[in-house]
Amino acid sequence: MVAPRRAAVIGCGRMGAFTSAGVRAHAPACWFPLAHAEAVVAHPGLDLVAVADMDAEAARRAAAAYGAARWFTDPLALLEEVRPELLCLATRTPGRAALIEAAIEAGVRALHVEKPLCNSVAELAALDALFARPDVHVTWGAIRRLLPPYRAALAESASGQHGRLLEVSVHMGAGRLFWTHPHSLDLLLFAAGERDVVAVSALLDGVETAPGEPLRILSDPGVAAAAMQFADGLVGRITRQPGCDLVLAGETGAVAVEADGHRLTRLSTAEGEGYPAWRPLPLSAEAAPVGTLAALLELTACLDGDVERCAANARWKRDILMAQRLLFAAVESNRRGGAAVPPDEVPAKLVIEAITAGRPA
Ligand SMILES: NC(=O)c1ccc[n+]([C@@H]2O[C@H](COP(=O)([O-])OP(=O)(O)OC[C@H]3O[C@@H](n4cnc5c(N)ncnc54)[C@H](O)[C@@H]3O)[C@@H](O)[C@H]2O)c1
């Protein structure tokens, strides 16, 4: 029998270890196991050997809850002493890029990291180079693309039954750029597939800059509206409509995932009707592994050398980097009054601290 791979979790808050009661009560079943530690212990090929949190009590509590043999308050000590093969990173964003770098330096080759990826364009440039390595596999907390309702919607749209895909919309209510919209952008890029992003335009509110430093954004701005142009004319939109929905609209109809995957619906015109109407679709009860476990299974398949999964992960790594770049481009667009900004026109010195109520995203 093959020995399980050594895994570790750094950051033992809600995403790392203890899913909030609200999410447990309301999110669809396909989101679970959601907490990284819970997903690690649900994975038959992983052994949770250690956890770390700078708050000793959080680390101790997570180690006890999930049976990790060791706990640390210093993530670098964990990396040095434990040398995990797979690492989950669920700290807040500041320092995340440096931890990813340190992990890869310590030999980690599979990382599941929370969103957003980093706070600055400079950090993103360093991650660009690291993610380009074919032996480094990365997934992130924007996991909807792995969940069955989203895959079903994308398959229906790709089947061509609604004609050519024209518009992808993500409705996330009053979401903030760094806290919420890595999810929206990951979905838009997933739906866009191989199409290149031409430009993003965005109108933000609540943008607070550091005194005398226009390129240092202190707040996590609200997104009033954002639009992405893709190479073949596809448009991606982020709106403030409440509900956590994804809508894939083609020439003759549409398919939507509503309420984070609670419902799947189709817009189509029935025989004899003059106008299309939304109708519910059955949600498949497939037994595929879901939640964060699905991401960890992708990563371990990559570590096992599964060529198809490695190719899929290379595409996801590209999308993760682009989603993060588009968060920066959205700020640049807003600085230019909502103008269309190509992703490579983000200022090299842009930093987004993304602080809300005293805490970073
Ligand atoms: N994927 C999702 O759906 C989703 C949902 C909520 C939050 N998030 C993201 O997940 C991340 C964590 O969010 P959360 O709600 O779990 O936060 P949290 O505050 O509940 O937990 C973060 C934990 O990380 C620890 N920590 C922070 N920096 C550390 C460091 N350098 N070394 C060791 N420990 C450190 C903190 O002590 C804390 O226990 C955030 O970046 C957030 O944006 C993702």
- What is the Å distance from ligand 1's center to 341 Cα? 30
Which residue owns the Cα nearest ligand 1 atom 17?
Answer: 13
What are the tens digits of pLDDT across the range 255-274?
Answer: 999 999 999 999 999 999 99
Distance 259 CA to ligand 1 centre (A): 24
Cα 32 vs. chain centroid, distance in angstroms?
Answer: 15
Contacts of residue 268, defined as CB under 8 A and 6 or more positions apart, other chains included, come to: 162, 252, 253, 276, 277, 279
Per cent of the chain over pLDDT 70 is 99
Query: In this predicted model, what pLDDT tens digit does every residue of 8-37 receive, in sequence order?
Result: 999 999 999 999 999 999 999 999 999 999
Nearest CA to ligand 1 atom 2: 141
Mean pLDDT of the chain: 97
The ligand 1 atom nearest the CA atom of 73: 33
Q: Assess whether pLDDT exceeds 80 at residue 1.
A: no
Ligand 1 pocket, residue 278 CB under 6 Å: no
pLDDT tens-place string over residues 151-181: 999 999 999 999 999 999 999 999 999 999 9
In the reported structure, the alpha carbon of residue 93 is separated from the centroid of ligand 1 by a whole-number distance in angstroms of: 8
Whose CA is closest to atom 5 on ligand 1? 15
What domains can be seen in the chain, in order of their start residue? 5-143+301-306 (3.40.50.720)
C-alpha of residue 195 to centroid of ligand 1, in Å: 32
Residue 2: DSSP 8-state: P
Picking from 114, 131, 129, 172, the residue whose alpha carbon sits closest to that of residue 292 is 114
Percent of the chain with pLDDT over 90: 98
pLDDT of residue 310: 98
Question: Which pLDDT score is estimated for 360?
Answer: 98
Q: Give the closest residue (by CA) to ligand 1 atom 15.
A: 14
How far apart (Å, rounded) are the C-alpha atoms in residues 187 and 146?
A: 10
| Mean pLDDT value of segment 125-150 | 98
Contact 119, 353 (CB under 8 A): yes
- Sheet-wide strand order for 359-360: 209-210, 213-219, 351-356, 359-360
Residue 289 reports pLDDT greater than 80: no
Quick one: average pLDDT of 76-88? 98
* Residue from 9, 10, 12, 15 whose mutation best tests the ligand 1 pocket (most atoms within 8 A of CB): 15
Of 230 and 283, the structure prediction assigns the larger pLDDT to: 230
Mutate to test the pocket of ligand 1, among 14, 24, 112, 356 (most ligand atoms within 8 A of CB): 14
pLDDT at 287: 64
- The total of other beta-carbon atoms located within 10 Å of residue 125's CB is 14
CB of 182 closer than 6 angstroms to any ligand 1 atom: no
CA distances 130 to 8, 62, 108, 109, Å, are 20, 29, 12, 11
Q: Could you tell me if the CB of 27 is within 6 A of ligand 1? A: no
What is the CA(17)–ligand 1 centre distance, in A?
10
Contact 228 CB / ligand 1 (< 6 Å): no
* Tokens encoding 194: 């191989």
DSSP state string for 224-266 = EEEEEEETTS-EEEEE--SS-EEEEEESS-EEEEEGGGTEEEE
Residues 6 or more apart whose Cβ sits within 8 Å of residue 341: 199, 200, 201, 329, 332, 333
Cβ 12 under 6 angstroms from ligand 1 = yes
User: What are the Cα distances from residue 324, in Å, to 129, 140, 147, 186, 319?
Assistant: 14, 11, 21, 9, 8
54 lines ligand 1 (CB under 6 A): yes
Pocket flag, ligand 1, residue 34 (CB < 6 Å): no
Q: Which one-letter amino acid corresponds to residue 3?
A: A
Query: How high is the pLDDT of residue 2?
Result: 84
Please report, for residues 32, 36, 236, the alpha-carbon distance to residue 44 in angstroms, rounded to integers and kept in the order given.
16, 14, 38
**Is 88 close to ligand 1, i.e. is its CB under 6 Å away?**
no
Q: Is the CB of 52 under 6 A from ligand 1?
A: yes
Nearest Cα residue to 296 out of 3, 67, 2, 4 = 4
For the beta sheet containing 70-72, the strands, ordered from the edge strand earlier in sequence to the opposite edge, are: 70-72, 46-52, 5-10, 86-89, 110-113, 137-140
C-alpha 230: how far from its chain's center?
Answer: 20
Distance (Å) from CA 92 to ligand 1 centroid: 4
The rounded Å distance from CA 96 to ligand 1 centre is: 10
